[in-house]
Amino acid sequence: MKKKTYSSLENALRILDLFTMEKSEYSIREISDQLGIAYSTAHRLVKNLEDEGFIVKDSILNSYRLSVSILSFSSVVTAHTKLISNSIYLLKKLSSQFKATVQIGVMHREHVYYINKTDYEHLIMGYVTYIERKVPLHYTSAGKILLSQLSEEEIINYSEQYLLTATAFSNIEDFLVELKHVKTNGYAISADEYYHDFITVAAPLKNTSGHIIAAIELVYPNDAKLLRTIEQRAKEFKQVCEKIRLNS
């Protein structure tokens, strides 16, 4: 396979991409190893990002973390994304109706971004930790819903490029069949695939002109009893979501 070369800016953004909830601090050595770039390059990029206020050095651990300044960017996104403000009430309602954490996912490139979420408190009892906001499309139910809206050619392109990293689908054919089912059924179910602790159910969300603009996803703790009845729950959820038209 040909090795992709990245520009400085791309490498700087790839550094920011490394940070996750599970690993929120990196040393320069770790960054250079993870990205396969020279130590001196990693060092220079980290200094650039630090100068620009995107990451900061932790004085004690001698490693870098994301800067609090990033919060001011996200407050701009939250304030000016209609889908976020317009969905607050809807998510609360669905959360109490389906007794689940509910989140809205939108597609950007090869990821689903969860832009709004309502936690169902009673379910988060200790063992459930956290849900990332950015996940590869084929990892979650919401992602499958969004992928299933693409043309067959686009789906095949995506699969060939990204599916190799998946554990759930051993081959592209299986995945394509699954997505066809998702499209015909109008809902997607994922268990034990990406979130080992969760079962997720998703359905499309339409705007006032009837276009699919996002996916809504229910998140439950993984439970054998629930798994047996999840198909029925997914059908109910789909019926409810079909009637929703959200202004965005």
Q: What angle do CA 185, 174, 172 make, to 5 degrees?
A: 120
Size of the site for other proteins (CB under 8 A): 52
Is 78 a residue that touches other proteins (CB under 8 A)? yes
- Residues numbered 11 to 30 that lie near other proteins (CB under 8 A) are 12-13, 16-17, 19-21, 24
Does position 68 interact with other proteins (CB under 8 A)? The reply is yes
Note the maximum CA span of the chain: 56
Counting every residue written for the chain, the total comes to 248
* 161 lies in the site for other proteins, by CB under 8 A: no
- With respect to other proteins, which residue has the nearer C-beta, 32 or 178? 32
**Rounded to 5 degrees, what are φ and ψ at 244?**
-80, 135
Residues 167-186 vs other proteins: string with x where CB under 8 A? --------------------
Give 106's strand partners: 113
User: Is 2 a residue that touches other proteins (CB under 8 A)?
Assistant: no
Selected binder of other proteins within 74, 157, 208, 239 (CB under 8 A): 74
Identify residues 85-144 at the interface with other proteins (CB under 8 A).
106, 108-109, 111, 113-115, 130, 132-134
Residue 146 CB partners (closer than 8 Å, separation 6+): 105, 106, 107, 112, 137, 214, 215
Extended strands (E) in the chain: 55-58, 63-66, 101-108, 111-118, 134-136, 188-191, 198-207, 212-221, 245-246
List contacts with other proteins (CB under 8 A). Answer: 7-10, 12-13, 16-17, 19-21, 24, 44-45, 48-54, 56-57, 59-60, 65-80, 106, 108-109, 111, 113-115, 130, 132-134
